[in-house]
Amino acid sequence: MIMNLSLSKPAVTTQAADELSRNRRVAVLLISCMGLFAAGLDVTVVNVALPSIASSLHSSVPGLQWTADAYSVVMAGLMMLFGSTGDRWGRKRMLVAGLAVFSAGSLASSLAPSVAALVAFRAVQAAGGAMLNPVAVSIITNTFTDPRERAQAVGVRGAIYGISLALGPILGGVLVSATGWRSIFWINVPVGAIAILLAVRYIPESRAPRPRRFDPAGQMLVAVLLVTLTYGIIEGPGQGWASPFIIACFAAAAVSLAGLVRSESRRGEPLIDLRFFRSVPFSSASAIAVLAFGAFGGVLFLNTLYLQDVRFLSPLHAGLETLPLAVMVMAGSLVSGRMVASRGPRPALMASGVSSVIGCVVLAGMTGTTAYPQLLAGYVLFGFGFGLVNTPVTNTAVSGMPRAQAGVASAIASSSRQLGQTLGVAVAGAVVAGGADRSLRTAFIPASQAAWWTLTACSGLVLLLGYLASTRRAAESARHVAAALNPEALTGHTH
């Protein structure tokens, strides 16, 4: 399809012109999603490799948490900055720059001599990922202006993410077993290079008519909030929850949050426009993203430790056993896109909550000798539920908002996902580390019970908020907020 674009001659009929336009939109969608594919692949590839990284670099459980969370923390902290910067600087430029930085960080991660260096290079990777995600959504939003087409495009985006998750366990297991954990980062380099070439050739440049100014105070407060909160949760079990430094971390997080609310409410062009959160669908979508991705991050982290440190499976075998979860994420994303396009977000969000809750309950009952069919049922149910949530969250976050602010709106939604994944890994790991005073082999099952039930509660809240986000009153609040933000640029509608 992409090659046809380069050979096409000027259209001579309306039908041919429409077809060319459609082909170009599809090409833009696929190219925009290539970076997302690499980022999604990185999630499950790294999780499969965590025990091997621990053995090679002599890492503790907190070290593994930082290996996973450094990526999520930096992405969550920078997405809003790069979302608004892309609106001003050019979304295509930001996409290309993000691909380059992400690829360079991946290459550096493969050469890391220590856990500290790996965490630092993962942060570089995340900076590139923070450039990719919000501008990719913004490019899609501005390319697919019809609400039904946009919902389907977002569904395809979620499916591509699901495909990357599905390939991650297998590819990660093969690479770690054959050549070691360092090779998992090599695969991002050629993907990034190809995506850069295609983006330069095919994606049109776009900017917001009136981009917002840089907000250094807001950006600093967001960074301090995320880092101190995550550090306190991860290091709390080891240093003691009552230790002065951990208390200081949580106090700094609280002060940063209060300062952020005060600063952003007084600024004419804030990093986070607090008026967005007056929209019930938008605020609910942000909360759902935190909860759903928190459950997902926690499930991946706990399951990796369970399969490799409790059941002593090889990375490849563990990847194969986890594959059904990732495949169902892909399936749920495809189904969700069609559901949102035809019936709105409520059915997808409600089904997501139910399926995820049951899946977590099933996984919470596992022991060191649990039969695989029980694990399979948990993987299928939770994976499908998680797959259903991504499209309605993205669609709800950007639908009804002025397209000129699509980058910022989508960046906040994307940041919520990364924040959720960060907290999911941090909380699950902290619970396990706090309860595992012996080896993981003997202590993991009892130590992880509280973590599994916490993840179950998160999925239950997705169900509740999914209902609240799709009421008539919620839709009316979104219309009022969109009109207040930019009445002249208001396009589309909220389901």
Higher pLDDT, 248 or 23: 248
CB 390: neighbour CB atoms within 10 A? Answer: 28
- Whether residue 8 is predicted with pLDDT greater than 70 in this model: the reply is no
Angle between helices 280-305 and 406-435 (to 10 degrees): 40
**Domain coordinates in residue numbering, the chain:** 20-203+267-486, 216-266
Angle between helices 14-57 and 91-110 (to 10 degrees): 30
* Span of 97-101, 147-151, 175-179, 261-265 with lowest mean pLDDT: 147-151
Pinpoint the alpha helices (H) of 240-314.
Answer: 244-266, 280-305
Give pLDDT tens digits for 114-151.
Answer: 999 999 999 999 899 888 877 777 787 777 777 777 77
Cβ burial 155-173 (10 Å sphere, 16+ → b, else e): bbbbbbbbbbbbbbbbbbb
* Span of 49-63, 118-132, 466-480 with lowest mean pLDDT: 466-480
Assign 404 a pLDDT band (cuts: 50, 70, 90): low
- Whether residue 391 is predicted with pLDDT greater than 60 in this model: the reply is yes
Res 450: pLDDT: 86
Give pLDDT tens digits for 410-434.
Answer: 667 777 887 888 788 888 888 887 6
Assign 86 a pLDDT band (cuts: 50, 70, 90): confident
Contact 222, 77 (CB under 8 A): yes
Q: Give mean pLDDT, residues 331-347.
A: 83
CB neighbours of 96 closer than 8 A, spacing ≥ 6? 196, 199, 200
Angle between helices 216-239 and 406-435 (to 10 degrees): 10
Pinpoint the alpha helices (H) of 144-279.
Answer: 147-179, 188-202, 216-239, 244-266
Assign 104 a pLDDT band (cuts: 50, 70, 90): very high
Higher pLDDT, 62 or 257: 257
CB neighbours of 494 closer than 8 A, spacing ≥ 6? 281, 396, 399, 400, 475, 478, 479, 482
Q: Is 6 helix (H, G, I), strand (E, B) or coil?
A: helix
- Whether residue 436 is predicted with pLDDT greater than 70 in this model: the reply is no
Q: Give mean pLDDT, residues 183-209.
A: 85
Contact 103, 423 (CB under 8 A): no
- Whether residue 291 is predicted with pLDDT greater than 90 in this model: the reply is yes
Give the separation between CA 448 and CA 458, rounded to whole angstroms.
16
- Whether residue 286 is predicted with pLDDT greater than 70 in this model: the reply is yes
Instruction: Provide DSSP, 38-98.
Output: HHHHHHHHHHHHHHHHHHHHT--HHHHHHHHHHHHHHHHHHHHHHHHHHHHH-HHHHHHHH
CATH superfamily of 20-203+267-486: MFS general substrate transporter like domains (1.20.1250.20)
Give the separation between CA 42 and CA 335, rounded to whole angstroms.
24
Higher pLDDT, 341 or 402: 341
CB neighbours of 411 closer than 8 A, spacing ≥ 6? 79, 80, 82, 83, 84, 133, 134
Q: Is 23 exposed, middle or buried (0-12, 13-18, 19+ CB in 10 A)?
A: middle
Please provide the average confidence, as pLDDT, over all residues in the chain: 80
* Span of 220-234, 290-304, 356-370, 426-440 with lowest mean pLDDT: 426-440
- Whether residue 440 is predicted with pLDDT greater than 60 in this model: the reply is no
Handedness of CA 384, 386, 391, 396 (dihedral sign): positive
Q: Give mean pLDDT, residues 183-187.
A: 88
Smallest Cα–Cα separation from 301: which of 43, 40, 129? 43
Q: Give mean pLDDT, residues 309-333.
A: 84
Higher pLDDT, 41 or 262: 262
Distances (CA, A) of 469 to 29, 390, 472, 483: 27, 14, 9, 19
- Measured between its terminal Cα atoms, the distance across the chain in Å is 32
Q: Give mean pLDDT, residues 152-161.
A: 72
Above pLDDT 90, what percent of the chain? 19
Give the distance, in angstroms, between the CA of residue 332 and the centroid of all CA atoms in the same chain.
Answer: 16
Higher pLDDT, 20 or 103: 103
Q: Is 310 helix (H, G, I), strand (E, B) or coil?
A: helix
Res 317: pLDDT: 86
Cβ burial 247-261 (10 Å sphere, 16+ → b, else e): eebbebbeebeebbe
Q: Residue with structure tokens 């080896």?
A: 439
Q: Is 367 helix (H, G, I), strand (E, B) or coil?
A: coil
Q: Is 400 helix (H, G, I), strand (E, B) or coil?
A: coil
Res 448: pLDDT: 84
Res 490: pLDDT: 41
Give pLDDT tens digits for 378-387.
Answer: 999 999 999 8
Res 411: pLDDT: 66
Q: Give mean pLDDT, residues 290-319.
A: 87
Give the separation between CA 198 and CA 27, rounded to whole angstroms.
9
What is the torsion angle, in degrees rounded to the nearest 10, for the CA atoms of residue 227, residue 228, residue 230 and residue 233? 170
Give the separation between CA 32 and CA 26, rounded to whole angstroms.
10
Q: Which structure tokens are listed for 379?
A: 């993987």
Assign 487 a pLDDT band (cuts: 50, 70, 90): low
